[in-house]
Amino acid sequence: MSEQALHITVLLKEGVDALAIKPDGIYVDCTFGRGGHSREILARLGPAGRLIAFDRDLVAIAAGREMNDDRLTLVHAPFSDLDIELEQLGVGLVDGVLMDLGVSSPQLDDGARGMSFRFDAPLDMRMDTSRGQTVADWLADASVAQITEVLRDYGEERFAYAIAKAIAAARAGGAVETTGQLAAIVEKTVRTREPGKHPATRSFQALRIFINQELEELTQVLPACVRRLRTGGRLAVISFHSLEDRIVKRFMRDGSRPPQLPSRLPVRAADMPKPPLVLVGKAVHPGDAEVALNPRSRSAVMRVAERTEAAA
């Protein structure tokens, strides 16, 4: 069975519907993954339409090349490079941007990637295995304070300090180099956890988010998306945990409000500068049928905003 068949795209129809596809439009899929959203976008584009798809994962890029669609341009780069890459491609404004954040099922289910405690494998966790530091490399030199900060800030782990101390103590007997080693350290340290959740869940999430700079990448790309959207263009973002969604929610909320002026300044409401975004509908969650088919979708939430004529 192919990876595409194994991977179930979350909010597939809803995500592409949110873009209000124009047959001759130009669209960006910031997270190609295994191409679920990209395929649906291409299915709705006409011959003159164009899709630029980003991914840091070389395996995802290879999967995309098998599609053999002249309307699709694949870019092996983090989506924080959106401005640079679109400039190099000669693309100015676009009609829509879709972001499906987080990690894909193939990445979690490939034990060699080191993203899951379900497999004993090298402790890697990089989305782009061609560059950057692995989690094992980082843990080898990180201080207890640094590990604590990462586990607390990126995993909301209440036992962050105890786990960090345990990792540092374990290093005295040799490097922590595998997912099995790390999971065992955390499991021994964390005595209580939510029912049905492995004790290492938050630690693995935190280290993956940190090593890939996922929140920083998201914070950096959102303003670039707005600058690149033409009037009426849509930005749709699907998040899978509260840290991502908080960033997206605040960005769209702030972008849809007029600038905050001094309260005593005599400016009429009609003369206030217009915000660059307008919110489209309410947050969208997967329905019961989708969650039953794909339990990994249960935490997903999509937020959508539309570009106005105002300057970004």
Q: Which residues are annotated as a binding site for S-adenosyl-L-methionine?
A: 35-37, 55, 79, 100, 107
Q: How far apart are CA 153 and CA 247, in angstroms?
A: 14
Residues flagged as binding site: 35-37, 55, 79, 100, 107
Residue 284 to residue 262: CA distance in whole angstroms: 35
232: which DSSP letter? E
Q: How far apart are CA 253 and CA 129, in angstroms?
A: 35
Q: What DSSP string runs through 108-155?
A: HH-GGG---TTS--BS---SSTTSS--HHHHHHH--HHHHHHHHHHHH
DSSP class of 27: E
> For 50, which DSSP code?
E
